Amino acid sequence: MRILVRGGRLVDPASGRDEPADIAIASGRIVRIGRAAQPLEFDAERTLDARGLLVMPGLVDLAARLREPGREHEGMLESELAAAAAGGVTSLVCPPDTDPVLDEPGLVEMLKFRARKLSRCRVFPLGALTRRLEGAVLTEMVELSKAGCIGFGQADRAVRDTMVLLRALQYASTFGYTVWLRPQDAWLGGGVAAQGAVATRLGLSAVPVVAETIALHGIVELVRATRARVHLARLSSAAGVALVRAAKAEGLPVTADVSINSLHLSDADIGYFDASARLVPPLRQSADRDALRAALADGTIDALVSDHDPVGADEKNLPFAEAEPGATGLELLLALALRWGREQGLPLVRSLARVTCDPVRVLGDALGPLGGSAGRLVEGGVADLCLFDADERWTVTPGQLLSQGKHTPFAHASAGAPLEGRVCATLVAGTVAYERGSRPAGAPRPA
């Protein structure tokens, strides 16, 4: 379909461009981008009226669990990819801890095939680094890569055997694959809340900061030895940030991300044992949160992720420690990136870079030809777009979320002011994957 996106304010973090411009789309690609405020002549089958809206590249989320295969009652591709589109997310990376885990090419092919058929969002699976994520035997990474895996990881299950981790990094780096690791020591990471005054007061078993820093020290040493490329997933502490900053300063090939939860919340948000704040990694103290926010601003942390993890009501309505960790996030990512950017005083192109071109840079060669244009707006590039109203205020209520995961600590009054900024339409490969029902993107904007 030939689509014209007309009258919007184009924001492209990769080029730093921020000005009114029309975009013409045909055959899934951006064919022309207009010049500042000059209407584009284009023979369109459909025109999307973007007046009053911002037009940006679709968001790229490096951590979203879809719960398929294996946990379909908590999320399914249909609902979770609809949630992605509603959140303006056009590409996402899903971790391998499905059931069965993504350690066989057939499973990856099926997941890719199902996602492609839905055409709501591009899905890039991470393969398991070790079979069944048991941390003992390497997976067939070359086969898995051919099936569509963009990297290899252990999700939340640390490799306890350092020899296995060394071999895994050596083997993955032979073929240029990135290894995704969440830095957490297996022995120290057993608690349910961050060590600190809140966990002490509530009597919750605690995860100390050293659980993260010990793992980071180990990973950094192994990267130094192997020169393997490692992505450090979901940093949670100020001390962890400092280690990543030092590793980057040394020139080691590491990248990192942080979740919307750790970026905005602290352990005080657990309140009276609120299980929606039962998260992995656990929410730490406000000093950690401040360090994470600064690190995302200065680029020590490369990407902001939703850490989307839909959990069913039965798994959440339990005493805090027994409740399954995780929160819904795909539909909140954009608004929370904007909130962080506003609070840090960053220009829009800088804050939105952390959810568009920067995560694409983390993915690197793994995206193949798509890597040249995903997460940015360029003529000839893929037409993955997000149209949003930067000023619309909204409050998260479970009923309005398309995800089957309805639990989020941002649903509570304690998480602060209403969210600001809401997606109006999402295009994936030049087709409309999402359009807000109440006010379609083509409809006139209410005064």
Partner 1 sequence: MPARRNPQLNAHGELIHLLSIEGLPRDVLTQILDTAGTFLSVGEREVKKVPLLRGKSVFNLFFENSTRTRTTFEIAAKRLSADVINLDIARSSTSKGESLLDTIANLSAMQADMFVVRHAESGAPYLIAQHVAPHVHVVNAGDGRHAHPTQGLLDMYTIRHYKRDFSQLTVAIVGDIVHSRVARSAIHGLSVLGVPEIRAVGPKTLVPGDLAAMGVRVCHDLAEGIRDADVVIALRLQNERMSGALLPSAGEFFMSYGLTAERLALARPDAIVMHPGPINRGVEIDSRVADGAHSVILPQVTFGIAVRMAVMSTIAGNAA
The residue range among 62-70, 136-144, 315-323, 436-444 that interacts with partner 1, by the rule CB under 8 A, is 315-323
Compare residues 114 and 273 and give the one whose CB is closer to partner 1: 273
Q: How many residues line the site for partner 1 (CB under 8 A)? A: 25
272 near partner 1, judged by CB under 8 A:
yes
Q: Write the burial class of residue 369 (CB in 10 Å: 0-12 exposed, 13-18 middle, 19+ buried).
A: exposed
Catalytic residue check, 185: no
Binding span for partner 1 by CB under 8 A among 21-29, 94-102, 145-153, 409-417: 409-417
Q: Which is nearer to partner 1, 206 or 291 (CB)?
A: 206
**Shortest Cβ distance from residue 333 to partner 1 (Å)?**
22
| Interacting positions 74-133 with partner 1 (CB under 8 A) | none
Catalytic residue among 307, 309, 384, 389: 307
From candidates 176, 416, 418, 440, binder to partner 1 by CB under 8 A: 416
Of 199 and 216, the one with the shorter C-beta distance to partner 1 is 199
Residue closer to partner 1 (CB basis): 123 or 192: 192
Binding partner 1 by CB under 8 A: which of 39, 70, 190, 319? 319
273: contact with partner 1 by CB under 8 A: yes
Considering only residues 182-221, where is the footprint of partner 1 by CB under 8 A? 195-197, 200-205
Binding to partner 1 by residue 397, rule CB under 8 A? no
Q: Which stretch binds partner 1 (CB under 8 A): 24-32, 103-111, 143-151, 316-324?
A: 316-324
Cα–Cα dist 174/178, whole Å? 10
Which CB, 196 or 310, lies closer to partner 1?
Answer: 196
The stretch near partner 1 (CB under 8 A) out of 110-118, 250-258, 303-311, 408-416 is: 408-416
CB of 263 vs partner 1, minimal distance in Å = 16
Residues that bind partner 1 (CB under 8 A): 195-197, 200-205, 268, 271-273, 275, 314, 317-322, 412-414, 416
| Catalytic (active-site) positions | 307
